[in-house]
Copies of this chain bind each other. A is one copy, B any other.
Amino acid sequence: MKLQLSQDELEKNRKTIRKKMQQDEIDALCLFSSRGIFYLTGLYLIQTERPVGLLYDGVNTAAFVPALEVEHVKELGGVDEIISYKEYPGEKHPMKILAEKIENREVRRLGVDSDGYPGGYGYEGPALSDILDLDVEELPKLIENIMRVKSDEEIQLIKESCRWGNLAHRYLQDYTKPGKTENEISTRASLDASRAMLKTVSDDYYSPKGATMPASAGFRGQIGKGSAIPHALTSNKTIKEGQVLVTGASANVGGYVSELERTMIVGEPWDKQVEFFRYMVKAGEVALDAIEPGVSFADVDKKVRDFYREKDLMDYWRHHTGHSIGFDGHEAPYLDRNDDRELKPGMVVTVEPGLYVPEFAGFRHSDTVLVTKEGSEMLTYYPRDLESLIIPVS
Whether A49 lies near B334 (C-beta < 8 A) is yes
Asked if A367 CB lies within 8 Å of chain B CBs, one says: no
Inter-chain CA distance A323–B221, complex, in Å, is 32
A90: interface (CB < 8 Å): yes
CB distance from A34 to the nearest CB of B (A): 11
- Contact call B235/A205, Cβ cutoff below 8 A: yes
Tell me the nearest residue of chain B to A228, going by C-beta.
B71
**Chain B neighbourhood of A45, CB < 8 A:** 231
CA distance A92 to B235 in the complex (A): 34
Name the B residues within 8 Å of A67 (CB-CB): 317-319
Once A68-B230, A72-B231 are accepted as A-B contacts, the answer to whether A183 and B191 lie under 8 Å apart by CB is yes
Q: Are B212 and A220 in contact (CB under 8 A)?
A: yes
- A330 located at the interface, meaning its Cβ lies under 8 Å from any Cβ of chain B in the complex: yes
Binary flags per residue of A226-243, CB closer than 8 Å to B gives 1, else 0: 001111111111100000
Q: How far is the CB of A205 from chain B (nearest CB, A)?
A: 6
In contact, B194 and A183 (Cβ under 8 angstroms): yes
**A69 interfacial by beta-carbon distance below 8 Å:** yes
Decide if A89 touches B122 in the complex (CB within 8 Å).
Answer: no
How far in angstroms is the closest Cβ of chain B from A388? 25
Which secondary structure characterizes the binding site on chain A? loop
Q: Does A213 contact B (CB under 8 A)?
A: yes
| Most chain B Cβ neighbours within 10 Å, of A44, A195, A207, A235 | A235
Residue A184 at the chain B interface, CB threshold 8 Å: yes
How far is it, in angstroms, between the C-alpha of A231 and the C-alpha of B228 when the chains are bound?
38
Contact across chains for A330 and B68 when beta carbons are under 8 A apart? no
Least Cβ–Cβ distance between A73 and chain B, in angstroms: 10
Q: Which residues of A193-235 are within 8 A (CB) of B? A: 194-195, 198, 203-213, 218, 220-221, 228-235
What chain B residues lie within 8 Å of A328 (beta carbons)? 120-122
Known A-B contacts A191-B184, A191-B187, A336-B88; the reply to A212 vs B234 at CB < 8 A is: yes
Indicate if the CB atoms of A213 and B233 lie closer than 8 Å: no
A331:B235 contact, CB within 8 angstroms: no
Question: A144 interface residue, CB < 8 Å from B?
Answer: yes
B336 touches A89 (CB 8 A): yes
**Counting CB contacts under 8 A, is A27 at the interface?**
no
A-B complex: 3 closest residue pairs judged by Cβ atoms: A122-B332, A121-B330, A68-B318
Please list the residues of chain A having a beta carbon within 8 angstroms of any beta carbon in chain B: 44-46, 48-49, 66-69, 71-72, 75, 87-91, 120-124, 141, 144, 181-184, 186-187, 190-191, 194-195, 198, 203-213, 218, 220-221, 228-238, 317-320, 323-324, 328-334, 336-339, 356, 358
